[in-house]
């Protein structure tokens, strides 16, 4: 008789035939860095997540380093915002200074720099705005400038998340022209206009002041289009790509895995984190079990690496 249960009979047997695994090497931890001194602001909608000023960020980085989490993703929150998001490409802006600090103090860490204007613009959109339209081509040079200042500050990987067309090309040209030929681009290629980013916009202070992001981020109903975006970004020079969000888009992740050979990262976004946290805090679910189940689902679907706010907890659990 065929008995599937033979291979499920004990811990060691299950472990012996297990197809996928989440390891600490898979994890990328997002960090929010804010202007000012002695700040550790809790993000209300993301229990356990804080905005840190540079002088206190080591509290978090020491844990990351000690747990051997290989990479962090940096989001800067500037004091002053304007129409053109000038702080985004200020060589001494908050993000650039944070990166310089991390690079110097934690040389083992891979620093991934998110490239987008929405944390820096007064209107909260990811590009230059004119008469309530988000302009594509006018935004590209600003993104390229931002990427360059981040690379100069010490970023190891540049990750454009703006969803303007042609930005990978613009950034690649700028990096190459300035000698950063070896800095890879991790492009948010398939980034959907998702309600799951809600808590992040609290954390990064980047909610749009009018309208929404549907004219540049992808329509949630589309699957084939994601593959076109991914192919196009690779064509423009992306070294790795991101699928975002993760859980409601595992089909996209799986199809991408079947179609491309480049590394694929998925972003277990803020809303996915907050939902799990809320239910766990109510005692409705077993947090550790649910988080690990979600992460293994992402691996099973084809993610090579996972950006997740759970990274520190997961790294601790994996040690036990």
SS3 per-residue string spanning 117-176: CCCCECCCCCCEEECCEEECCCCHHHHHHHHHHHHHHCCCEEEECCCCCCHHHHHHHHHH
- Residues 90, 95, 121, 270: which binds ligand PBG (CB under 6 A)? 270
Would you say 198 and 45 are in contact if contact means Cβ atoms under 8 Å apart? yes
Is residue 29 at the binding interface for ligand PBG, with CB under 6 A as the rule? Answer: no
Q: Which is nearer to ligand PBG, 201 or 288 (CB)?
A: 201
- String marking each residue 148-177 x if it binds ligand PBG according to CB under 6 A: -------------x----------------
Closest among 106, 87, 80 to 150, alpha carbons compared? 87
Q: What gap in Å lies between CA 168 and CA 162, rounded to an integer? A: 10
- The residue with its CB nearest to ligand PBG is 200
Residues annotated catalytic, as ranges: 191, 244
Shortest distance, CB of residue 116 to Zn ion, whole angstroms?
3
How many Å separate Cα 89 from the centre of its chain? 19
- String marking each residue 109-148 x if it binds Zn ion according to CB under 5 A: -------x-x-------x----------------------
Is residue 139 at the binding interface for ligand PBG, with CB under 6 A as the rule? Answer: no
Q: How many helices (H) and strands (E) in the chain?
A: 11, 12
Is residue 51 at the binding interface for ligand PBG, with CB under 6 A as the rule? Answer: no
Shortest distance, CB of residue 236 to ligand PBG, whole angstroms?
18
Token pair, residue 258, equals: 């079947």
Is residue 216 at the binding interface for ligand PBG, with CB under 6 A as the rule? Answer: no
Closest among 139, 112, 137 to 123, alpha carbons compared? 139
Q: Which residues bind ligand PBG (CB under 6 A)?
A: 114, 116, 118, 126, 161, 197, 200-201, 213, 269-270
């Amino acid at each position: 008789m065929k008995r599937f249960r033979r291979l499920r009979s004990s811990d060691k047997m299950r472990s012996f035939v297990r197809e996928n695994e989440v390891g600490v090497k898979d994890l990328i931890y997002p960090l929010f860095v804010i202007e000012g001194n002695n700040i550790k602001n809790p993000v209300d909608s993301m229990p356990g997540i804080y905005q840190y000023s540079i002088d206190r960020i080591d509290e978090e980085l020491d844990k990351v380093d000690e747990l051997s989490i290989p990479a962090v993703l940096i989001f800067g929150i500037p004091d002053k915002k304007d129409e053109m998001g000038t702080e985004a490409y200020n060589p001494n802006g908050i993000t650039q200074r944070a990166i310089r600090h991390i690079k110097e103090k934690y040389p083992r860490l891979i620093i991934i720099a998110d490239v987008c204007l929405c944390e820096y613009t007064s209107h909260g959109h990811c590009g230059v705005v004119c008469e309530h339209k988000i302009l594509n081509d006018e935004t590209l040079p600003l993104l390229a400038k931002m990427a360059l200042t981040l690379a100069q500050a010490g970023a190891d990987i540049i990750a454009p998340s703006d969803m303007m067309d042609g930005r990978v090309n613009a950034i690649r040209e700028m990096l190459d022209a300035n000698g950063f030929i070896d800095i890879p681009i991790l492009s948010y290629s398939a980034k959907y206009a998702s309600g799951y980013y809600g808590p992040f916009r609290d954390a990064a202070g980047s909610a749009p002041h009018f309208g929404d992001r549907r004219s540049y981020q992808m329509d949630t109903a589309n699957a084939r289009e994601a593959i076109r975006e991914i192919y196009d970004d690779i064509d423009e020079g992306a070294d790795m790509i991101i699928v975002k969000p993760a859980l409601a888009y595992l089909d996209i992740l799986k199809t991408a895995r079947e179609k491309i050979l480049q590394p694929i990262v998925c972003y277990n976004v803020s809303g996915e984190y907050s939902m799990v946290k809320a239910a766990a805090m109510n005692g409705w679910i077993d947090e550790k079990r649910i988080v690990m189940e979600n992460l293994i689902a992402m691996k099973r679907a084809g993610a090579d690496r996972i950006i997740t706010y759970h990274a520190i907890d997961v790294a601790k659990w994996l040690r036990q």
